[in-house]
Structure 1
């Protein structure tokens, strides 16, 4: 009888567990996720699960780092117009988070459950979004569109924070007007010449 290699068995079990976490999060959310349920879905013993992860927050973080839960986001477009690029990026991310709201809430809950895993989730999920905005804004400073004294960190926090707030509050108002409202607040303090960027203006404001 040919026996499978222990390392291969472990790799298969590891993958099965992470896929089970993904599926269970989609089906029932983070609150109903349990170590017993993960083990049962993956077809492994609970002792195997606890040997690799101390809590469900830890295994959720691992599945996220592995790219199984959600990659999300992406680089901010580079058209040469900072306002247009920010709006395009926000539109894509809003649509993406709306479609995967339950998964995003699960990641936020896992972060709250375990401060140690919160850092891993930040580096895999929230951090890359924030870094993408900062990188685009810094290139805007270099090109002369963005004010060199603008608080770029505050702008990045506002963009990412607004999206997370909408997901946490289950706010379905992801309309174009909501994005335009956010940008109208941010752009005057960000851009050297806000009116020359193609950013939407409030109705009736054509001085």
Structure 2
């Protein structure tokens, strides 16, 4: 009897584990509705970030936003929301249904990852991570800064933050300093004749 009870508990545990492991990701529309509602309630804008589990620059973006030196600044000004896209075939279950369609709607499907968009609480696009020629409309494709790292990319990010938040110049300097840490360190050059 004890063996049967133990066997039943183990089977129940396995079934529950598989159900939770395979629970579908929320759809992109549901994720965005929640983000817009929260943004309206908290009088903030939405920072929507498209990312994937394999994306190293996405991980750097997440680490930068969550760095203790600037996390509160972002949290006080934005509802930060992520949608998972472009996963490898074996990890497609991590994608939010409809996320690629939403990325295409925001003209980010050609940009690579990470790609981000700043929206107001009604879903109007205020800015995104693509640098466009002066005067070009938002539906023009530009160069994606992704996770800002270079001096020019960080300057673009701070320009966007200044126009879409209540961050002051001191806050922006702290954020700029943190994002500058993402700049890849060049490999040392080897002297002639060495391997």
Fold agreement, TM-score > 0.5: no
| Greater strand content | 2
| Greater helix content | 1
Q: TM-score, normalised by structure 2?
A: 0.28
Q: TM-score, normalised by structure 1?
A: 0.26
